[in-house]
C-alpha cells in the first residue's frame, strides 16, 4: 500500500480521536511537554504539542499545574536516561496530589523494549509509553487513559506521522525542519539507529513548501535536520541530493538563514562544500563530527573515514576560506582508547582549530556493538582526558574568537543575556555567540554588530 496513503489514513484516524478527547476534557486542561536530547527530538516534542493542542489542551511550563505530562526522552547516553528516571520518580508525588494526572513517556528511551518494560514494572505512576516511531498513537493512548484504562504501550516501528503532524513551535523566529528520519550508519557506540530506525527522506517539494510557509510567517532561521543530512535522498535512489535541496531552499525569497545538522564526514562531498559557499543564505559554518582523531578508534567506531580523510575535507574548506568556522562532536574514552589515541584527538583539534567542540565521555549503550568490546581504560583516566580536552579547546576558542575583533557580524538575537544585565545574546552567521547592549525588543531580529572583544565562549560587540 502506498506509504503516503497510510500516513493520510493515520492522520484521519487521529483527527477523529482528537475530537473525542476534546469532547471529554473541554478546554480547561493543561499539558506539560518536556523534550530532552537532540533537535530532532525537540521537533517531535513540538509535534506532540500540535496533537495535544488539537485535542483541546493548553500548555503550562509548571508541571505541578498540569493535567497531562509527557516526557519526550533521549537515550544517547546513560546520564540522559538516569535523569529521566529521576524525574519520573519524582512525579509519583504529583500523582498522589492529583490522581487524575496522566503521565506519558515518549521518545528514544521508550523505543527500547527493555526500558518500556522497566517503566511498566517500576513506575506505576506512568500511564502510557510510546516509541519515537508511533507519535500517531498518542491520541489513542490518551483516550484510553481518559476512559480509565490502566497502562498503554505502543513502541511499533516506522510511523512517519511526524512528517505530516502539525507543530506548536517553541520559537516564532527559529524553526527546525526535519528532512529525514532514522540512521543507517550504526556507529558502534550509538543507540540512535536502534531507536529511530532506518533512513527515510521526506520529499524535497514538501520540505521546500514547509520552509516557504515558515519564511512567510516571519521565521528567520531554518535548521534542516537529519542524523546524516549528506545521505538525504539515498533511500529514494537519488544519491548526493542534499546539495540540490540546499539550493532549492536557498532559492526561496526572503531574509533568512539556513543551517543544517549533522553532516557525516564519510559523505561530506566537495559539492556540498561548494554549495555552502555558493548559496548566500546558507550559514558559513559546518558542524562536522570527528568523534576521535585516531584512525584506529574511528575504525572500531565504524565511522568509515580515517583521520587523514577527515583532514582532507577540512583542507578543502579552508582552501576556500582559511577562517571558515568549524565545530565538532568528540567522544572521549571509547573502549580501550590509548594515550596515543587521545593524543591524536588533541593533535587534530589543535590543527583544525574548531570554534567550538561538543565532547562526551563514552557511555555504554546496551545492544550496540561497542557495548561488547572489552574496555580496560579506568574511568578516572577518561575524566582526566575530558578535562584536558576542554582545557585545550578553551585556549583554542579564545585565540580563535579574536579574529572577529574589529569585524562586523550579522547576529540573529535569540534572548536576553544570562550573564550581563542590559545585554542581549544571539548567534552570528558563523554560529558564534555574540553579546551586545540591547533589550528584548531585539529578540528575533537580525542586527549588525561591530565586535569589540573576545572571550573563550563568545564575542562582545556594539550595535551598528
Ligand atoms: N548523527 C550525528 C553524527 O553522526 O554526528 C550524531 C548524533 S548523536 C545524537 C550526537 C552525538 O552524541 C554524537 O556525535 C556523539 O558524539 C555522541 N554520542 C553518541 N553516542 C554516544 C555514546 N554512546 N557515548 C557518548 N557519546 C555519544
Ligand atoms: Fe549515531 Fe553514527 Fe547515526 Fe550519528 S551517524 S546517529 S553517531 S549511528
Ligand atoms: Fe537522543 Fe534520540 Fe536524539 S537518542 S540524541 S533524542 S535521536
Nearest partner of 414 among 401, 403, 423, 405, judged by Cα: 423
pLDDT above 70: residue 384: yes
Q: What value does the mean pLDDT take over residues 294-306? A: 98
pLDDT value of position 238? 76
On whether both 109 and 146 belong to a single domain, the answer is yes
- Range 422-426 contact pairs with CB under 8 angstroms and sequence separation of 24 or more: 425/458
In a domain, 373, yes or no: yes
In a domain, 166, yes or no: no
Is residue 256 very low, low, confident or very high in pLDDT (cuts 50, 70, 90)? very high
User: Which CATH number does the domain housing residue 245 bear?
Assistant: 3.30.750.210
- Whole-model pTM: value is 0.95
On whether both 153 and 35 belong to a single domain, the answer is yes
Give the residue whose CA is nearest to atom 1 of ligand 2.
190
pLDDT in tens, 126-185: 999 998 877 888 999 999 999 988 777 766 655 566 666 788 999 999 999 999 999 999
Rounded to the nearest angstrom, the distance between the alpha carbon of 420 and the centre of ligand 2 is: 37
pLDDT above 80: residue 245: yes
The total domain count for the chain is: 4
pLDDT value of position 354? 98
Kindly tell me the burial class for residue 339, based on how many C-beta atoms sit within 10 Å of its own C-beta (0-12, 13-18, 19 or more). Answer: exposed
In a domain, 167, yes or no: no
On whether both 301 and 223 belong to a single domain, the answer is no
Which has more pLDDT, 158 or 451?
A: 451
Give the contacts of 428 (CB within 8 A, at least 6 positions apart): 404, 409, 410, 411, 434, 449, 459
Among 74, 107, 190, 261, the mutation site with the greatest number of ligand 1 atoms within 8 A of its Cβ is 190
pLDDT value of position 6? 63
User: Which CATH number does the domain housing residue 373 bear?
Assistant: 3.30.750.200
Which of 388, 403, 418 is the last residue before a domain boundary?
403
| Separation between Cα atoms, residue 59 and residue 51, nearest integer Å | 12
Half-sphere exposure of 105 (CA within 13 A, CB side): 31
In a domain, 200, yes or no: yes
On whether both 157 and 14 belong to a single domain, the answer is yes
Q: Which ligand lies nearest to the CA atom of residue 225 in the structure?
A: 1
pLDDT value of position 13? 80
Element (DSSP H or E) covering residue 278? helix 270-278
pLDDT value of position 1? 42
On whether both 102 and 70 belong to a single domain, the answer is yes
Which of 119, 136, 161 is the last residue before a domain boundary?
161
Among 76, 191, 357, the mutation site with the greatest number of ligand 1 atoms within 8 A of its Cβ is 76
On whether both 307 and 398 belong to a single domain, the answer is yes
Give the contacts of 305 (CB within 8 A, at least 6 positions apart): 265, 266, 298
On whether both 228 and 191 belong to a single domain, the answer is yes
Pocket of ligand 3 (CB under 6 A): 37-38, 40-41, 74-76, 108, 191-192, 195-196
User: Which CATH number does the domain housing residue 79 bear?
Assistant: 3.40.50.12160
Q: In whole angstroms, how large is the CA radius of gyration of the chain?
A: 23
Which of 114, 138, 161 is the last residue before a domain boundary?
161
Is residue 452 very low, low, confident or very high in pLDDT (cuts 50, 70, 90)? very high
Element (DSSP H or E) covering residue 463? strand 459-463
pLDDT value of position 382? 97
Domain coverage including residue 288 = 284-403
What's the mean pLDDT when you consider all of the chain?
Answer: 93
**Cell 529521576, residue?**
86
Pocket of ligand 2 (CB under 6 A): 183, 185-187, 190, 192-193, 227-228, 264
- Give yes or no for a contact between 167 and 47, defined as CB atoms under 8 angstroms apart: yes
Give the residue whose CA is nearest to atom 4 of ligand 2.
227
Coil, helix or strand at residue 447: strand
Give the bridge partners for 86, in sequence order: none
In a domain, 276, yes or no: no
User: Which CATH number does the domain housing residue 424 bear?
Assistant: 2.40.50.140
Among 191, 264, 300, the mutation site with the greatest number of ligand 2 atoms within 8 A of its Cβ is 264
On whether both 290 and 395 belong to a single domain, the answer is yes
Kindly tell me the burial class for residue 169, based on how many C-beta atoms sit within 10 Å of its own C-beta (0-12, 13-18, 19 or more). Answer: middle
In a domain, 49, yes or no: yes
- Give yes or no for a contact between 365 and 321, defined as CB atoms under 8 angstroms apart: no
In a domain, 275, yes or no: no
Ligand 2 nearest-atom number relative to CA 302: 2
In a domain, 317, yes or no: yes
On whether both 414 and 362 belong to a single domain, the answer is no
Rounded to the nearest angstrom, the distance between the alpha carbon of 452 and the centre of ligand 3 is: 38
On whether both 110 and 156 belong to a single domain, the answer is yes
On whether both 399 and 411 belong to a single domain, the answer is no
pLDDT value of position 137? 87
Ligand 1 nearest-atom number relative to CA 361: 25
On whether both 295 and 333 belong to a single domain, the answer is yes
pLDDT in tens, 6-63: 667 777 788 889 999 999 999 889 999 999 999 999 999 999 999 999 999 999 999 9
Amino acid at each position: 500500500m502506498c506509504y503516503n496513503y497510510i500516513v493520510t489514513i493515520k492522520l484521519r484516524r487521529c483527527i477523529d480521536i482528537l475530537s473525542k478527547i476534546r469532547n471529554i476534557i473541554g478546554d480547561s486542561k493543561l499539558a506539560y511537554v518536556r523534550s530532552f536530547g537532540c533537535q530532532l527530538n525537540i521537533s517531535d516534542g513540538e509535534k506532540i504539542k500540535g496533537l495535544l493542542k488539537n485535542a483541546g489542551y493548553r500548555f503550562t511550563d509548571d508541571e505541578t499545574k498540569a493535567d497531562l505530562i509527557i516526557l519526550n526522552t533521549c537515550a544517547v547516553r546513560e546520564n540522559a536516561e538516569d535523569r529521566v528516571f529521576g524525574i519520573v520518580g519524582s512525579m509519583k508525588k504529583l500523582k498522589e496530589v492529583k490522581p487524575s494526572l496522566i503521565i506519558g513517556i515518549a521518545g528514544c528511551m521508550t523505543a527500547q523494549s527493555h526500558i518500556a518494560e522497566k517503566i511498566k514494572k517500576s513506575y506505576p505512576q506512568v500511564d502510557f509509553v510510546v516509541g519515537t516511531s508511533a507519535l500517531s498513537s498518542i491520541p489513542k493512548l490518551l483516550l484510553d487513559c481518559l476512559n480509565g484504562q490502566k497502562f498503554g504501550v505502543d513502541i511499533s516501528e516506522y510511523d512517519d506521522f511526524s512528517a505530516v503532524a502539525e507543530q506548536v513551535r517553541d520559537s516564532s523566529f527559529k524553526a527546525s525542519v526535519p528532512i529525514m528520519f532514522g540512521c543507517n550508519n550504526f556507529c558502534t557506540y550509538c543507540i540512535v539507529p536502534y531507536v529511530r530506525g532506518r533512513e527515510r527522506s521526506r520529499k524535497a517539494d514538501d520540505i521546500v513548501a514547509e520552509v516557504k510557509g515558515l519564511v512567510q510567517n516571519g521565521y528567520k532561521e531554518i535548521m534542516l535536520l537529519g542524523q546524516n543530512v549528506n545521505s538525504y535522498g539515498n533511500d529514494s535512489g537519488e544519491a548526493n541530493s542534499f546539495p540540490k535541496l540546499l539550493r532549492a531552499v536557498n532559492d526561496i525569497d526572503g531574509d533568512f538563514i539556513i543551517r543544517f545538522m549533522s553532516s557525516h564526514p564519510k559523505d561530506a562531498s566537495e559539492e556540498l562544500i561548494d554549495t555552502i559557499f555558493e548559496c548566500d543564505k546558507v550559514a558559513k559554518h559546518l558542524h562536522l563530527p570527528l568523534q576521535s582523531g585516531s584512525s584506529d578508534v574511528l575504525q572500531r567506531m565504524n565511522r568509515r573515514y580515517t583521520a587523514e580523510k577527515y583532514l582532507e575535507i577540512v583542507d578543502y574548506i579552508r582552501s576556500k576560506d582559511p577562517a571558515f568556522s568549524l565545530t565538532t562532536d568528540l567522544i572521549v574514552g571509547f573502549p580501550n582508547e590509548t594515550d596515543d589515541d587521545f593524543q591524536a584527538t588533541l593533535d587534530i583539534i589543535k590543527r583544525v582549530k574548531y570554534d567550538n567542540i561538543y565532547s562526551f565521555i563514552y557511555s555504554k549503550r546496551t545492544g550496540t556493538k561497542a557495548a561488547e568490546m572489552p574496555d580496560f581504560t579506568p574511568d578516572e583516566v577518561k575524566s582526566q582526558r575530558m578535562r584536558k580536552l576542554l582545557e585545550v579547546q578553551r585556549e583554542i576558542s579564545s585565540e580563535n574568537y579574536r579574529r572577529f575583533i574589529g569585524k562586523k557580524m550579522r547576529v540573529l538575537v535569540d534572548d536576553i543575556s544570562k550573564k550581563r544585565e542590559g545585554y542581549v545574546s544571539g548567534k552570528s552567521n558563523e554560529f558564534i555567540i555574540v553579546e551586545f547592549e540591547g533589550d528584548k525588543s531585539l529578540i528575533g531580529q537580525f542586527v549588525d554588530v561591530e565586535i569589540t572583544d573576545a572571550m573563550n565562549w563568545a564575542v562582545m560587540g556594539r550595535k551598528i
